[in-house]
Structure 1
Amino acid sequence: MSLSIIMVYLIATVSLSIIPGPNMLLALSNGTSKNNLVILMGIIGADIGNLILITAVSLGLGAMMQASSTLFNLVKWLGTLYLIWLTIELWRHKPDIKKLQLNTNKTIYKAMIRAFVVAISNPKALLFFTAFLPQFIDQGKPQFFQYSLLAIITIFVDTIVMVIYACGGNHAARYLTDIGLRRLNRCCAFIMFSLAVLLAFYKKIN
């Protein structure tokens, strides 16, 4: 894999990652907690989910979903329902600035699990990786190293972008009132619901 191909993939990944998606919105929401462990575990959960998706693509699961409408629709509706549940959770959440730094294991692992589930239950991401990653793979050379390199780049870029979103949430928590933070959460909830609707109407390309 040449340096030029790596640079093109890096630029493309950065461009796509900065677009607000479910995991970026969760990173923003986690940032408002001002709890570094919550932020970190949320990022780790999303990264693990993305790593599994890329591994699945390298093993052919993406192509299997592309061929099976039943499997695709099952994952799609599970992902849609989970995004709707997160929408309701964000909308109903009432931030309390005095309790933002409360450190509980329940909150920490909840942040990790929900970010992981969002990443792993998105069929659009799996099919996107299926269509996108192979374009950068040299079929005449060992593919394990190539997929591993692209996975590292993807995880690195997504992590940096999620940190930026989390810093934005952290910054907001420093200056906004409880009402302001609630409005921010509801903005995230609205975008999350919009993503759920888009996912519900998404159809795989035959």
Structure 2
Amino acid sequence: MDWVLFITTFLFASYLPGINMSLALSLSLNIGYKKTMFMILGGVFGLGFVSLVCAVGVGALIITKPEIFEILKVVGGIYILFLSYKMFMANSKFKDVKAVKPLSNLELFVQGFMTCNINPKAWIFLATLLPPFLDRENPINLKMFILIFIIMLIEFLSYNTYALGGLAFKKLMSKHVQVVEKISAFLMGVIGIWIIFE
């Protein structure tokens, strides 16, 4: 298994400006870093949940229906290529998500958890990214949990980067977000091709 490829791919995907990172940035600016940590933890556990469901579901599919898995793998790879193309051609869509009212710690946690879980791109990306790195003979094993832990750790780091960056990081991202998006789009395209022909 190529751990470097897995970590690099998810690192680039995680640091892309999107709804989760915009939420962390905006909440940090509006309610402070300490309160934002509850939303961050909700988002990290939300992504862990999505990763587990995708890994277990795809793992069962690998064992019972390998031919269906192969079809889904190719379709997923094509979808990642499509996303890569759209990202490469699109202008920046970095937006703020404003905090409307003061939220309790539990509400912030649930907000982070739900924001991650209702994002279809997270489900599709993880359902496509995880299978090539799972063991085909025994996909539901310690390696699967290590992969999920790595995903959660990277997501935690990226959330904190955005939350701690504050206004200065927001200005920097608004100036350079297109370069980051183009590089990430290219790398996603490479991963899409790799998944299809792996």
Question: TM-score scaled by structure 2?
Answer: 0.60
* Contact 2:33/2:163, CA 8 A, preserved across alignment: no
What's 2:116 paired with?
A: 119
User: What is the distance in 1 between the residues matched to 2:129 and 2:38?
Assistant: 27
What's 1:137 paired with?
A: 134
2:160 is aligned with 1:154: no
What's 1:43 paired with?
A: 40
* Contact 1:31/1:170, CA 8 A, preserved across alignment: no
- Structure 1 residues 52-82: Cα deviation after superposition (integer angstroms, max 9, x where no partner): 101111231798xx8xxxxxxxxxxxxxxxx
- The gaps in structure 1 that reach 5 residues or longer are 67-86, 95-103, 174-183, 185-206
User: What is the distance in 1 between the residues matched to 2:45 and 2:131?
Assistant: 20
State the one-letter code of the partner of 1:12: T
State the one-letter code of the partner of 2:151: T
Give the count of matched residue pairs: 139
Distance 1:56 1:170, change over 3 A: same
The two structures, once aligned, show a CA RMSD in angstroms of 3.2
Identity %: 23
Using the TM superposition, give the Cα deviation of residue 129 of structure 1 relative to its aligned residue in structure 2, in angstroms: 0.8
User: What is the distance in 1 between the residues matched to 2:24 and 2:131?
Assistant: 28
* Contact 2:21/2:159, CA 8 A, preserved across alignment: yes
State the one-letter code of the partner of 2:52: T
What's 2:23 paired with?
A: 26
State the one-letter code of the partner of 1:111: L
What's 1:167 paired with?
A: 164
Using the TM superposition, give the Cα deviation of residue 148 of structure 1 relative to its aligned residue in structure 2, in angstroms: 0.6
Distance 1:171 1:113, change over 3 A: farther
Distance 1:33 1:17, change over 3 A: same
User: What is the distance in 1 between the residues matched to 2:31 and 2:164?
Assistant: 9
* Contact 1:32/1:172, CA 8 A, preserved across alignment: no
What's 1:108 paired with?
A: 105
User: What is the distance in 2 between the residues matched to 1:170 and 1:45?
Assistant: 23
Distance 1:172 1:111, change over 3 A: farther
* Contact 1:30/1:111, CA 8 A, preserved across alignment: no
Correspondence 1:19-98 to 2 at 5 A: 19-33=16-30, 35-60=32-57, 90=98, 93=100
SS of alignment partner, residue 143 of structure 1: coil
- Structure 1 residues 83-130: Cα deviation after superposition (integer angstroms, max 9, x where no partner): xxxx9972x849xxxxxxxxx7x4433322211111011222112111
* Contact 1:41/1:108, CA 8 A, preserved across alignment: yes
Question: TM-score scaled by structure 1?
Answer: 0.58
- The gaps in structure 2 that reach 5 residues or longer are 62-71, 73-94, 175-198
- Structure 1 residues 5-60: Cα deviation after superposition (integer angstroms, max 9, x where no partner): 11211111111111111111111012113533312101100011101101111231
